[in-house]
Amino acid sequence: MTVTTQRSDRSTETYSIEAAIETDRLRKVYRTGFWLDRKVESLKECTLQVYQGETFGLLGLNGAGKTTLLKTLLGIVKPTGGKGFLLGKPLGDRSTKQKIGYLPENPYFYDFLTGWELLEYTAGLFEIPKSIQKHRIPALLDLVGLARSAAQKKQLRQYSKGMVQRVGMAQALINDPELVFLDEPMSGLDPLGRKQMREIIISLGDAGKTVFFNSHVLTEVEQICNRVGILAQGELICCGTLGELLTNDDKYYYVSGRGGNREVLDRWMKNITYHDDVWSGQMQGEPQEFMATLQLLDAELLSLRQGRASLEEFFMEQMELRGIRSSS
Ligand SMILES: Nc1ncnc2c1ncn2[C@@H]1O[C@H](COP(=O)(O)OP(=O)(O)OP(=O)(O)O)[C@@H](O)[C@H]1O
Ligand SMILES: [Mg+2]
Domain ranges of the chain: 2-244, 253-307
Looking at every residue in the chain, the average pLDDT score rounds to: 88
Ligand 1 atom at minimum distance from 61 CA: 25
Considering the entire predicted model, what is its pTM? 0.82
Q: Cβ distance 105 to 67 under 8 Å? A: yes
Q: What integer pLDDT is reported at residue 5 of this predicted model?
A: 57
Higher pLDDT, 320 or 112: 112
Our mutation pick for probing the ligand 1 site, out of 31, 66, 73, 212, counting the most ligand atoms within 8 A of Cβ, is 66
Mean pLDDT, residues 187-197:
88
92 CB within 6 A, ligand 1: no
Mean pLDDT, residues 241-267:
84
Residue whose Cα lies nearest atom 25 of ligand 1: it is 62
Tens digit of each residue's pLDDT (9 = 90 or more) over 5-48? 555 555 666 555 689 999 999 999 998 888 888 888 999 999 99
Mean pLDDT, residues 171-200:
92
Higher pLDDT, 313 or 138: 138
Residue 100 has pLDDT above 60, yes or no: yes
The CATH architecture to which 2-244 belongs is 3-Layer(aba) Sandwich (3.40)
66 CB within 6 A, ligand 1: yes
In one-letter notation, the amino acid at residue 206 is D
Q: What integer pLDDT is reported at residue 1 of this predicted model?
A: 46
- Which pLDDT band holds residue 211 (cuts at 50, 70, 90)? very high
28 CB within 6 A, ligand 1: no
Task: Express as a percent the part of the chain with pLDDT over 70.
Answer: 92
62 CB within 6 A, ligand 1: yes
Q: Are strands 269-275 and 278-283 parallel, antiparallel or unpaired?
A: antiparallel
Task: Express as a percent the part of the chain with pLDDT over 90.
Answer: 61
Distance 153 CA to ligand 2 centre (A): 31
- Which pLDDT band holds residue 300 (cuts at 50, 70, 90)? very high
Residue 252 has pLDDT above 80, yes or no: no
Residue 202 has pLDDT above 70, yes or no: yes
Q: What integer pLDDT is reported at residue 90 of this predicted model?
A: 94
Among the listed residues 281, 292, 212, the one whose alpha carbon sits nearest the alpha carbon of residue 252: 281
Distance 65 CA to ligand 1 centre (A): 6
Residue 261 has pLDDT above 70, yes or no: yes
Mean pLDDT, residues 273-289:
85
Distance 234 CA to ligand 1 centre (A): 9
Sign for the pseudo-dihedral over CA of 61, 218, 201, 161: negative
**In what side-by-side order are the strands of the sheet with 300-306?**
269-275, 278-283, 253-258, 300-306
